[in-house]
Structure 1
Amino acid sequence: MTVEINTFVADRLDTFMDDLETLVNIDSSSDNPAGIAAVARFLGKRLEAIGFSSRLEKLGGRGVPCLQAQNRPPADRFDILFLGHMDTVFPQGEVDARPFAVDGGRATGPGVCDMKGGLLVALHALETLHHRGVLEHLAVGVCFNGDEEVGSEASRGWIETHARNSDRVFVFEPCRPGFRFVLARKGGGGFRIAARGVSAHAGAEPEKGANAALEIAHQAIAIARFNDQAPEGTSAHVTVIRGGEKTNIIPDEAQASVDVRVARKIDVAPVEAFFNSLPAHTHVPGVTLSVSGGVGRPPMESDHRALQLWRQFEAEAATMGLDIACISTGGCSDGNFTSAQGVPTVDGMGLVGANAHRRDEYVELSSIVPQIRLIASVCQAIARRNPPV
C-alpha cells in the first residue's frame, strides 16, 4: 500500500504545483476577509469532491472567515483533526509585487511557507486517503481559520471545541529544514505598561513635573532583571516604548509593550504575578502605573500521549527511509490551544521551508511528495486500528 500511495502522490505533483500557485497568488492577509474566503472556497470545493461536508463560518465581531469540514456527521468524534490557517501577514497588493515563482528547487511568494503550502499538504493527503479508500475507516475533521496571524481571538473557542472532540491533532504549520517537526512550543502573550505623571517645562521648572518616560525606563530595567531569575524557558522583553511629545516638556504619559514567552503551564501564574505587581513598585515620585495583558497562548507541552503519537510518525518515516526529528520552538501556533486541551498534537506538518513572515520566505519542492506520503501513511496506520464502518 505504501508503494501505491507513493505512486499516486508522485503522479499528482504537477497538480500540487498548480494548486500552490493558485493559493499563493490570492492575497489573504488577516485584514482581508474576501481573500481569506477565496482560499476557503478553493479548499472547501476540493474537500466536497472527496465526500466531505464543508461550511464557511464567520466568527467574531469582524466575521472572520473560517473553514470547517468533516467526512462524518457532526455528532461523531474525530480520529484526527487537521488544523491550519488561511491568513498571511502580507498586505493587499503583495501578490502583484512578488507573485508565486519557482527558482531551482524552491518556491517563493506571499505565504508559500506560512502556510499555503501546509494547507495543500493537508488537502492532498486527504485526497490520497480518499483514493485509497482509507477515509471509509477514519473520521477526519478540518479546521482552517482566518485569524491565526493576529492571535486567533475570534477562532480560539471554535478550535478548542473541535479539538476536545478529537483524539489527535495534526497542525500544518511549516516543517523545519531537515524534516524537523514541532512537538513543543512556548506559550506567548504580552503586557502593556502605562505610566502617568505630570508635565512641566523641561528647562524652566522641571521640578514641577513627574517624568512618565523615566518611570518606564526604570520598569524596562526591572523587566530585564526579571529574566535573570525567571523559570527556565521564560523570557520577557520590552519591544516598544512610546512617550513624550516635545523635547522641552517633561512627559506626563509613556507606555511600554512587552513580549512574554513561557515554556511550561506552571510558569504562567508567576509571570503574570510579577507584571501585576509592578504598579506597587514605582521609582519616580508622582508617577502611577497601570498594567494590562497576560499570557494569552498556553504553552504546547509534549506529554506521553503526544510522544506516543510521534512514535507513529517515526515508524512510518523509517519505512520510507526518511530521517525525521522533533524540536521545541519559541514561536506559537494554534497547536498551543489544542495541546492545552489535553489532545495529543504534532505540529510542523506543512512543507519544509524557512523565513516565514519575510519576503524571502520559501519552501523546498523536494519535500512535497515525502511529506504527503508520510502523513497519508500515518493516517492509514491509524485507520487500520479502527473497526470497519
Structure 2
Amino acid sequence: MMQVYEEKHFNDMLEMLEQLVNTDSGSNDKAGVDQVGTFLRQAYEQIGFVSEVHESEVYGNSITLRHQDATNPDILILAHMDTVFPAGTAEERPFTIREGRAYGPGVIDMKASQAMVFYAMKTLIEQQNEAYKHVEIVLNSDEEVGTVSSRALIEERAKGKKAALVMEPAREDGSIVSSRRGSGRYDLDIKGRSAHSGMNPERGINAIEELAHKIIELQGLADPDNNLHINVGMVEGGTSVNTIAPSAKAAIDVRISTASQGGAIDKEIQAIARESAVAGTEITLTGGINRPPMEWTDEVQRLVDLIQAEAGKIGLNVTDTATGGGSDASFTAAMGIPTVDGLGPVGGKQHTSEEYLVVDSLKERMTLFTNVLQRLSEE
C-alpha cells in the first residue's frame, strides 16, 4: 500500500489553508464564496482537472471537478466552500498557528479539508497512482444554510457512484461519521386581532395565546426514546404589553433518525397547524424536512471497515460515530449510496471564534484519505 509523502506538501497545504481562511466566504457572501471557488478551480486546473461552474444568483457558484483523463469516475467527494462567518471576520481573526493548533474562520469547517483534498489529488498524480481518475469532486457553496441551491447538483453527480466521501472534519476524538440525524425547519405565523387590553379586550383575538397552545402541542410530538426531537427555538409576538397580540410567530427545529419518521412527523405538524385553539386566529405553516437522515447500513459498515483497515496500516485507530448535526452526506445516503462523513482532519469548536484545526492531523488524514481512495479505486 502506498504511503503518501505528506511532508513534501505539508507547508504547501498550510499556505493554501492560510489563503482560504483569510478569504471570507460566509454562505450569504456570494462574492467571497466565488473568490474561494475561483482560487480552488484554478489550482485544480493546474494539475489537469477540468472544472465546470454551476452558477447561482443568490449563493456562490458551485464547482464540479474531474481529471481530464477520467472517463467514468465512480467515487464522489463532497466539500463545501462556505462558512457561517460574516464578511470582515477574516480581517478580525486571520489565520494563526499557536501550540500545534491553527485558528481562523472556517479553518476546520471545512477549509482544511479543501487544502487536504487538493494535495491528495496532487500527490496521487505525482506518484502516477491512477486513483485520481476515479473521483469526481463537488465543491458546493451553501451547505451551512441547508444546501439550498446545490442539493440538486449533488444528487445529479451522485448517480451511479459506488461511494460518497464527505469531507466534514473528523470529530475531536478523531472519529469518522457513519450516521447522521435528518432535520427539518418550520415557521409558524399566526394572525389575530389587536384590541386595547383594558378598554375592549373582547374585541381582540390573541395570537400569542394561540401560539402557546401550538408550542405545547409541537413539543409534545417529541419521542426521545426513538431519537426524534422537536424544538420550538424562537418565538416572537405582540406589539405592546397592553394590546391584545395581533400576531405571533415561531421557528421550529425537527431532528429525525429515520426516513419514515420524517414523513410521519411532517403530517403531524401539518395537522396541528390546521386546527385553531383560539377562535378567529389564522395560522400559516411553511417549511418541511430539508435533510433526510444518513442511516447506517451494511454497505456503510463495509466502507467504514475499509477506512479503519487503512487507518490501522498507518498506525491510526479510527472509530466511527453517529451525530445529530446535518451535512450533505444525508443527500447521497438517501439515494442508497454508501456514504461516510468526517473524513477531514481533526479539530473542533466549529462555528465559534475558537474554531481550531490540529495541524499535525493534516498529515495523517491526508495519508489515510489518499490510501482509501486507492483501495476504493481498485475494487
Instruction: Give the TM interval when normalised to the shorter protein.
Output: over 0.9
Asked whether 1:232 is paired with 2:226, we answer: yes
**Partner amino acid for 1:44?**
R
CA distance in 2, matches of 1:135, 1:47: 16
2:61 counterpart SS class: strand
Residue 291 of structure 2 is aligned to residue 297 of structure 1: yes
Displacement, 1:230? 6.5
User: Shift of residue 225 of structure 1?
Assistant: 1.8
List aligned pairs for 1:226-375, cutoff 5 A.
Answer: 226-227=221-222, 229=223, 232-375=226-369
Alignment of structure 1 residues 27-176 onto 2, 5 Å: 27-59=24-56, 61-62=57-58, 64-72=60-68, 76-135=71-130, 138-176=133-171
CA distance in 2, matches of 1:321, 1:239: 43
**Judging changes above 3 Å, is the alpha-carbon distance between structure 1 residues 265 and 120 closer, same or farther for their aligned structure 2 residues?**
same
Partner Cα distance (1:41, 1:198) in 2: 52
Aligned-partner residue type, residue 96 of structure 1: E
Q: Give the whole-Å Cα distance in 2 for the aligned partners of 1:351 and 1:136.
A: 20
1:17 positional shift = 1.1
Residue in structure 2 matched with residue 24 of structure 1 by the alignment: 21
Question: TM-score normalised to the size of structure 1?
Answer: 0.93
TM-aligned CA deviation for residue 11 of structure 1: 2.3
DSSP-derived class of the 1:201 partner:
coil
Alignment CA distance shift 1:73-1:337 (3 Å): farther
How does the TM-score come out when normalised to structure 2? 0.96
Q: CA deviation at 1:50?
A: 2.2
Is the aligned partner of 1:210 residue 2:205?
A: yes
Q: Rate the CA distance shift 1:368–1:123 in 2: closer, same or farther, 3 A.
A: same
Which string of whole-angstrom CA distances, capped at 9 and with x for unpartnered residues, describes residues 313-337 of structure 1? 0111111110101111111111111
Q: Specify every segment of 5 or more residues in structure 1 that has no aligned partner in the other structure, as ranges.
A: none
Contact 2:59/2:142 (<8 A) preserved: no
Residues 29 and 59 of structure 2 are in contact (CA less than 8 Å); yes or no, is this contact kept in structure 1?
Answer: no
Q: Comparing 262-271 with 27-36, which one deviates more in the overlay?
A: 27-36
Aligned to 1:11: 8
CA contact (8 A) 1:183 1:345 kept: yes
Task: Give the CA deviation at 1:45.
Answer: 2.0
134-143 or 175-184, larger mean C-alpha shift: 134-143
Amino acid across the alignment from 2:23: I
**Superposition deviation, residue 185 in structure 1:** 0.8
Once structures 1 and 2 are overlaid, which stretch shifts more, 233-242 or 121-130?
Answer: 121-130
Q: Distance in 2 between matches of 1:73 and 1:189?
A: 40
8 Å contact from structure 1 (residues 68, 144) kept in 2: yes
Asked if the contact 2:22–2:90 (Cα under 8 Å) also holds between the matched residues in 1, the reply is yes
Please state how far the C-alpha of 1:338 moved relative to its aligned partner. Answer: 0.9
Can you list the C-alpha shifts for 1:156-178, whole angstroms capped at 9, x where unaligned? 10010001132211111111122
Q: Distance in 2 between matches of 1:114 and 1:242?
A: 31
2:193 maps to a residue whose letter is V
Deviations 1:173-210 (A, max 9, x none): 11112210111111111111122222110111212211
| Structure 2, unpaired ranges of 5+ | none
CA distance in 1, matches of 2:147, 2:132: 32
Report the equivalent of 2:218: 223
Q: Distance in 1 between matches of 2:225 and 2:276?
A: 24
Aligned to 2:285, the other structure's residue is in SS state: strand
Q: Tell me the amino acid that sits aligned with residue 16 of structure 1.
A: M
Q: CA RMSD in A?
A: 1.6
Q: State the percentage of identical aligned residues.
A: 34
Q: Residue type of the partner of 1:367?
A: S
Residue of structure 1 equivalent to 2:2: 2
**Whole-Å separation in 1 of the counterparts to 2:357 and 2:15:** 15
